[in-house]
């Protein structure tokens, strides 16, 4: 596709429910990021993939959060046993290679509301 | 500690006026500085990327400046339009990392007719 695609665009989950958020990066992009953005705040880093390798997951808030990119393209962010504090926009971004000098392209985000 | 601070936190101006947003950073080692525009409910969109050797870069009505000595950057918007209403976020890359970005909290800009 022409840009980074995320789905679902909006998700309402009941507390305790598991959710899966999908990211289709721009074809051929090596780097993939997940960010969490609370209302009125800047994005907070969650995790980084270089191809299929998850090089940094230090930003994942708890062990309820899990991300994968098994074939080095599509990525899924899974949140188990959702809680109200998980309500946020989850942004996926991709870049052709290391970010130095490269533009990072963002998707429109997946808006998660936990009720 | 690596930090990026932006000011003002919010700004309201009349359509057609110019404005300047500020970004101060304490990031080391520095790689490059980016400005993003984020419309409400949308993902951030890149406006400019500057390395330490670049003093200014333009993208249409947006002009970014960088002073690597004082570790300051500004984003100047000329002849503002209603569509410029958005959050503008300053982001600095760390040189010894392939992926680490330090994000500012953003300036929320509102253009009034």
Distance from C-alpha of A36 to C-alpha of A43, rounded to nearest angstrom: 6
Grade residue A1 by pLDDT with cuts at 50, 70 and 90.
Answer: low
Grade residue A22 by pLDDT with cuts at 50, 70 and 90.
Answer: very high
User: For the residues A28-54, what does the mean pLDDT come to?
Assistant: 93
Grade residue A41 by pLDDT with cuts at 50, 70 and 90.
Answer: confident
Hey, are the CB atoms on B49 and A103 less than 8 Å from each other? yes
Cβ contact A73:A25 at 8 Å: yes
Point out the residue among A50, A93, A108 whose CB comes nearest to the CB of B42.
A108
Cβ contact A57:A47 at 8 Å: yes
- pLDDT of A95-110, one tens digit each? 998 777 788 999 999 9
Hey, are the CB atoms on A31 and B43 less than 8 Å from each other? no
Interface test with B, best of A88, A98, A104, A113 (most B CBs within 10 A): A104
- pLDDT of B26-65, one tens digit each? 998 998 999 999 999 899 999 999 998 899 999 999 999 9
In terms of CA atoms, which chain A residue is nearest residue B4?
A42
Quick check: B42 contacting A, CB < 8 Å? yes
Cβ contact B36:B46 at 8 Å: yes
Distance from C-alpha of A99 to C-alpha of B9, rounded to nearest angstrom: 27
Which of the two residues, A115 and A1, has the higher pLDDT score? A115
Strands annotated E in B1-113 = 3-7, 10-14, 19-26, 30-38, 45-51, 56-59, 62-67, 72-77, 86-94, 101-103, 107-112
Query: What percent of chain A lies above the pLDDT cut of 90?
Result: 88
Hey, are the CB atoms on B46 and A100 less than 8 Å from each other? no
Answer left, alpha or beta for residue A52, where phi above 0 means left and psi between -120 and 50 means alpha: alpha
Residue of A85, A101, A103, A83 whose CA lies nearest to A93: A103
Grade residue B99 by pLDDT with cuts at 50, 70 and 90.
Answer: confident
Interface test with B, best of A42, A43, A47 (most B CBs within 10 A): A42
pLDDT at A11 > cutoff 80: yes
Work out the mean pLDDT of chain A and round it to a whole number.
94
pLDDT of B61: 97
Work out the mean pLDDT of chain B and round it to a whole number.
94
Hey, are the CB atoms on A91 and B99 less than 8 Å from each other? no
Q: What are phi and psi of A57, to 5 degrees?
A: -125, 25
User: For the residues A79-104, what does the mean pLDDT come to?
Assistant: 92
Cβ contact B6:B74 at 8 Å: no
Grade residue A94 by pLDDT with cuts at 50, 70 and 90.
Answer: very high
Query: What percent of chain B lies above the pLDDT cut of 90?
Result: 85
Hey, are the CB atoms on B43 and A41 less than 8 Å from each other? no
Distance from C-alpha of A67 to C-alpha of A60, rounded to nearest angstrom: 9
Quick check: A105 contacting B, CB < 8 Å? yes
Distance from C-alpha of A27 to C-alpha of B8, rounded to nearest angstrom: 37
Beta bridge partners of A77: A21, A67
Two tokens, residue B65? 């400046």
Count, residues in chain A = 115
CB < 8 Å to A46, chain B: none
């Amino acid at each position: 596709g022409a840009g980074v695609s995320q789905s679902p665009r909006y998700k309402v989950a009941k507390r305790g429910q598991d959710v899966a958020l999908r990211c289709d990066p721009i074809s051929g992009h090596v780097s993939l990021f997940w960010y969490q953005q609370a209302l009125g705040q800047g994005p907070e880093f969650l995790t980084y993939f270089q191809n299929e390798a998850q090089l940094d997951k230090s930003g994942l808030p708890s062990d309820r959060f899990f991300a994968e990119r098994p074939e080095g393209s599509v990525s899924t962010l899974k949140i188990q046993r959702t809680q109200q504090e998980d309500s946020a926009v989850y942004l996926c971004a991709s870049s052709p290679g290391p970010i130095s000098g490269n533009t990072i392209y963002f998707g429109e985000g997946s808006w998660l509301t936990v009720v | 500690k690596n930090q990026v601070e932006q000011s003002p936190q919010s700004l309201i101006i009349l359509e057609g006026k110019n404005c300047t947003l500020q970004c101060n950073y304490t990031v080391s080692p520095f790689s490059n500085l980016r400005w993003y525009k984020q419309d409400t409910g949308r993902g951030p969109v890149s406006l400019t990327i500057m390395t330490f050797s670049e003093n200014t870069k333009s993208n249409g009505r947006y002009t970014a400046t960088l002073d690597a000595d004082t570790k300051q950057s500004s984003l100047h918007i000329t002849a503002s339009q209603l569509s410029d209403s958005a959050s503008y976020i300053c982001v600095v890359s760390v040189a010894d990392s392939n992926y680490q970005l330090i994000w500012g909290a953003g300036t929320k800009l509102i253009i009034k007719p």
